[in-house]
A = this chain, B = another copy of it.
Amino acid sequence: MTTPQKPLVFGVYEQAAVGLGGVPSLWTHPEDERLGIDRLPFWQNMTTIAEQANLDVFFFGDVLGLYDIYGGGHESAVEWAVEAPANDPLLYVAALAAQTKNLAYGLTASTTYEHPFAFARRLSTLDHLSEGRIGWNIVTSYLENAARNFGLDGQIKHDDRYDRAEEFLDVVYKLWEGSWADDAIIADKAALRYADGSRVRRIDHEGAVYRVQGPHLTSPTPQRTPFLFQAGWSPRGKAFAAKHAEMVFVGNGDPEAVRTGLIDINTQARALGREENAVQSLSVMRLVVGRTEIEAQEKYDLLQSNYHLEAQLVSYAGDTGIDLSQYADHEPLGSHSEGFASNVRNHGKSATPITAGELRAQFSSVTRGQGTTFVGTPEQVADQIEQRAAYTGTTGFMLTQFISPGSLEDFTTLVVPELIKRGLYREDAPTGTLRSRLRADGSSRLDPGHHAASFRFPAR
């Protein structure tokens, strides 16, 4: 691909946590406002900025436990606020959707720890009240502490979590797509007829993990199945994305890996009967942007001086099970007995073990050499966005803030005008459901070739 899609799609990544995933120590930056995450003004300010800038999606990640591997306990995560505390994003999405008109929301929720019946009702309610401005980021969860918060001795194995996720999705698809027919609602007061009872059916799901009778408790919503995000990048994760996802969230910063990975996912999706380029993508993007190169460099230096390696290592330990506090610099990673060893989050690195010292060196910079940070003037940053999109074929980018809401403000005030000049950013306010904005045919319903469509209520 030599020219990017025009316009690109842009989102902002958030978590209802003081320390944001990826850069968990930057709440200490003097301009950062993340200590305000508990209450609404912090969020209302950001969603107002996002809505006024016609951003496509305001996205919430989530965790269901603390990063308690580093140092053998939860103390460091709590002291340094590494993705902690972690409030429930669901409630903020509901509150913020009510206070914005056009902004759409992505919500992360776990197939491992939610119950599909209750979850399907929650998301249907949210789709109703937001009038279709909702996407669900399907995750299977990875923290040891999360497993122990939900009654398990430890994590369910990676691929087993995906097996459970497959069944979970069948249940929610049956409820969302198949329980109420399109023509079920009558809403005739005089006849005392709200619905046609014969057009509403039980799902009677009986599987290895779940038994759910139904019918779905909620009437058909604007999108029925909410728009589907997913972020797995393992072989199993990509196969799962090919079957289910409408948009993948790509954390990898290696352009070649992204390019081939996205082709791989869409090739698999096509083989499953889905439409051409069924799986869109948002790639993580971090920005350090100034009106001049000097200003950008000054901003970078201030970020670096408020960056703390130790907090990053808490996050790394939770993700990988490897506790760097137990390692001298010369020791290769993985040489200690670990609590668990699944490298759950993809770091885009080779499988060859590096030493603890090499990892510390790699993590010594606030950008961590991950290839996801663009630095410079608005023109320089727009160049990097354009080139990255052209090379990788990504549908767009997910801004992860260094400082909140400063990074979002920098993006909307400095970079967006330059992107608009180049035709890379939408100029009009997005309207309609989230899916209708992102699908080529403008439909609010899933592609008929998607697995979920097989559960639809037969037409009369």
Interface residues of A (CB under 8 A from B): 16, 18-19, 25, 27-30, 32, 35, 38-40, 64-66, 73-76, 78-81, 84-88, 90-92, 94-99, 113-115, 117-118, 121-122, 124-126, 128-129, 131, 145, 148-151, 184, 187, 189-190, 192-198, 200, 202, 210-215, 217-219, 221, 308, 311
Contact = CB atoms under 8 A, between A and B. Distances in A.
Contact of A88 (B74, B121, B195): B121
A151 B64 contact: no
Contacts of A198: 75
A215 B74 contact: yes
A97 B94 CA distance: 10
Q: 7 closest pairs, A vs B, by CB?
A: A75-B197, A81-B194, A95-B98, A94-B94, A148-B213, A38-B128, A91-B94
Nearest to A126: B91
Given A80-B194, A81-B194, A192-B311, A129 B38 contact: yes
| Chain multiplicity (copies) | 2
A221 B25 CA distance: 23
Nearest to A128: B38
A310 to B, nearest CB: 8
A129 B97 CA distance: 14
Nearest to A196: B79
A80 B149 CA distance: 41
Given A39-B128, A74-B200, A80-B192, A217 B87 contact: yes
A456 to B, nearest CB: 18
Contacts of A308: 192
Contact of A40 (B76, B91, B129): B129
24 contacts: A19-B194, A28-B190, A30-B189, A32-B189, A35-B189, A74-B197, A75-B198, A79-B197, A80-B193, A84-B194, A86-B121, A86-B217, A87-B121, A88-B121, A90-B90, A91-B122, A92-B94, A94-B94, A94-B95, A96-B98, A148-B213, A149-B212, A149-B213, A192-B311
A90 B122 CA distance: 8
Given A66-B217, A113-B115, A131-B39, A197 B78 contact: yes
Contacts of A187: 35
Contacts of A85: 217-219
Contacts of A88: 118, 121-122, 124-125, 218
B78 A189 contact: no
A78 B150 contact: no
Contacts of A148: 211-213
